[in-house]
Chains A and B, each alone.
Chain A
Amino acid sequence: MTATTEAPAAELGRARLRKEDARLITGQTRWTDNITQPGLLQIAFLRSPYAHAKIKNVDVSGALQQPGVIAAFSGADFAAEQGSLPCAWPVTPDIVIPPHPPMAVDEVRYVGEAVAVVVARDKYEAADALAAIDVEYEPLPPVLDMRAALEPGSPKVHDAGNKSYEWVFANGDVDAAFRDAPVVVERTYRQQRLIPCAIEPRAVVASWIGEELTLWSATQIPHVLRFALSAFFGIPEQDIRVIAPDVGGGFGSKLQVTAEEVLAVLISRRVGKPVKWTETRSEGNMTIHHGRDQWQQIKIAADRDGRIRGLSVDLLADMGAYLMLVTPGVPLLGAFMFPAIYKMDAYSFKCTGVFTTKMPTDAYRGAGRPEATYAIERIMDELAVELGMEPLELRERNWIKHEEFPYTTIAGLTYDSGNYEAATAKAKELFDYDALRREQLERNARGDKVRLGIGISTFTEMCGLAPSRVLGSLSYGAGGWEHASIRMLPTGKVEVVTGSSAHGQGHETAWSQIVADQLGVPFEDIRVLHGDTQVSPKGMDTYGSRSLAVGGLALVGACDKVIAKAKVFAAAMLEASADDLEWSAGRFSVRGDPDASKTIQEIALAAFAAHGTPDGVEPSLDSDHTHDPDNFSFPHGTHLCATEVDTETGFVKIRSYVAVDDVGVVVNPLIVEGQVHGGIAQGIAQALYEEGIYDDDGNLVTTTLADYLVPSAADLPSYVTSRTETAASNRLGVKGVGEAGTIASTPAVVNAIVDALRPFGVNDITMPCTPERVWRAIQSASTSGGMA
Chain B
Amino acid sequence: MTHITVTVDGVTYADQVEPRLLLVHYLREVVGKTGTPVGCDTSNCGACTVLMDGMSVKSCAVLAVQADGSDVTTIEGLSNGELHPVQRAFHEEHALQCGYCTPGMIMAAADLLRDNPHPTDEQIRDGLEGNLCRCTGYENIVRAVRRAAGTGV
Binding site for B on A (CB under 8 A): 17-18, 20-29, 31, 33-34, 122, 124, 197-201, 246-249, 251, 278, 280-282, 503-506, 670-671, 673-675, 677-682, 704-706, 710, 712-714, 716, 718-719, 741
Q: Are the C-beta atoms of A718 and B99 separated by less than 8 Å?
A: no
Q: Are the C-beta atoms of A27 and B75 separated by less than 8 Å?
A: yes
**Contact (A31, B136) CB under 8 Å given A17-B92, A25-B99, A246-B99:** no
Q: Is there a chain A Cβ closer than 8 Å to B53's Cβ?
A: no
Give chain A residues whose Cβ lies under 8 Å from the Cβ of B44: 281, 704-706
A278 to B103, CA, bound (A): 19
Q: List 9 A-B contacts (CB under 8 A).
A: A27-B74, A503-B98, A674-B97, A674-B135, A674-B136, A678-B134, A678-B137, A680-B137, A712-B125
CB interface residues, B 28-52, toward A, < 8 Å: 28-29, 33-42, 44-45, 47
**Contact (A199, B100) CB under 8 Å given A27-B33, A713-B142:** yes
Q: Is there a chain A Cβ closer than 8 Å to B96's Cβ?
A: yes
Give chain B residues whose Cβ lies under 8 Å from the Cβ of A673: 94, 140
Q: Is there a chain A Cβ closer than 8 Å to B1's Cβ?
A: no
Q: Are the C-beta atoms of A24 and B102 separated by less than 8 Å?
A: yes
Q: Considering residues B29, B91, B130, which has the most beta carbons from chain A within 10 angstroms of its beta carbon? A: B91
A133 to B22, CA, bound (A): 25
Q: Are the C-beta atoms of B128 and A677 separated by less than 8 Å?
A: no
Q: Are the C-beta atoms of B38 and A33 separated by less than 8 Å?
A: yes
Q: Are the C-beta atoms of B37 and A248 separated by less than 8 Å?
A: yes
A24 to B34, CA, bound (A): 12
Q: Are the C-beta atoms of B128 and A712 separated by less than 8 Å?
A: yes
Query: For the complex, would chain A's binding face be called helix, strand, loop or mixed by DSSP majority?
Result: loop
Q: Chain B's nearest CB lies how many Å from the CB of A24?
A: 3
Q: Are the C-beta atoms of B94 and A671 separated by less than 8 Å?
A: yes
Partner of A21, one of B91, B129, B130: B91
**Contact (A706, B42) CB under 8 Å given A25-B106, A29-B34:** yes
Give chain A residues whose Cβ lies under 8 Å from the Cβ of B64: none
Give chain A residues whose Cβ lies under 8 Å from the Cβ of B138: 677, 681, 712-713, 716
Which bracket fits the contact residues of B?
35 or more
Binding site for A on B (CB under 8 A): 18, 20-21, 28-29, 33-42, 44-45, 47, 74-76, 78-79, 83, 87, 90-92, 94, 96-103, 106, 121, 124-126, 128-142
Q: Are the C-beta atoms of B134 and A197 separated by less than 8 Å?
A: yes
Closest residue on chain B to residue A705 by CB atoms: B44
Q: Are the C-beta atoms of A25 and B94 separated by less than 8 Å?
A: no
A201 to B41, CA, bound (A): 10
Query: For the complex, would chain B's binding face be called helix, strand, loop or mixed by DSSP majority?
Result: loop
Q: Chain B's nearest CB lies how many Å from the CB of A113?
A: 20
Q: Are the C-beta atoms of A281 and B99 separated by less than 8 Å?
A: no
Give chain A residues whose Cβ lies under 8 Å from the Cβ of B92: 17
Q: Considering residues B76, B78, B102, B135, which has the most beta carbons from chain A within 10 angstroms of its beta carbon? A: B135
Give chain A residues whose Cβ lies under 8 Å from the Cβ of B100: 31, 198-200, 248-249
Q: A247-B98, A280-B41, A670-B94 are in contact. List 11 more A-B contacts (CB 8 A).
A: A26-B35, A27-B75, A34-B28, A200-B39, A246-B98, A246-B99, A248-B100, A249-B98, A678-B135, A716-B138, A718-B139
A17 to B96, CA, bound (A): 11
Closest residue on chain A to residue B122 by CB atoms: A714
Q: Are the C-beta atoms of B41 and A281 separated by less than 8 Å?
A: yes
The 3 closest A-B pairs by CB, nearest first: A27-B35, A248-B100, A24-B99
A189 to B134, CA, bound (A): 26
Q: Chain B's nearest CB lies how many Å from the CB of A216?
A: 14
Partner of B134, one of A26, A198, A706, A719: A198
A677 to B139, CA, bound (A): 7
A670 to B139, CA, bound (A): 12
Closest residue on chain A to residue B22 by CB atoms: A124
Q: Are the C-beta atoms of A27 and B96 separated by less than 8 Å?
A: no
Closest residue on chain A to residue B102 by CB atoms: A24
A6 to B9, CA, bound (A): 43
A201 to B36, CA, bound (A): 14
Closest residue on chain B to residue A196 by CB atoms: B134
Q: Are the C-beta atoms of A18 and B91 separated by less than 8 Å?
A: yes
Q: Chain A's nearest CB lies how many Å from the CB of B22?
A: 10
Give chain B residues whose Cβ lies under 8 Å from the Cβ of A671: 94
Q: Are the C-beta atoms of B34 and A199 separated by less than 8 Å?
A: no
Q: Are the C-beta atoms of B37 and A31 separated by less than 8 Å?
A: yes
Q: Chain B's nearest CB lies how many Å from the CB of A114?
A: 18
Give chain B residues whose Cβ lies under 8 Å from the Cβ of A200: 37, 39, 98, 100
Partner of A504, one of B39, B75, B99, B121: B99
Q: Chain B's nearest CB lies how many Å from the CB of A714?
A: 4
A615 to B101, CA, bound (A): 55
A677 to B100, CA, bound (A): 17
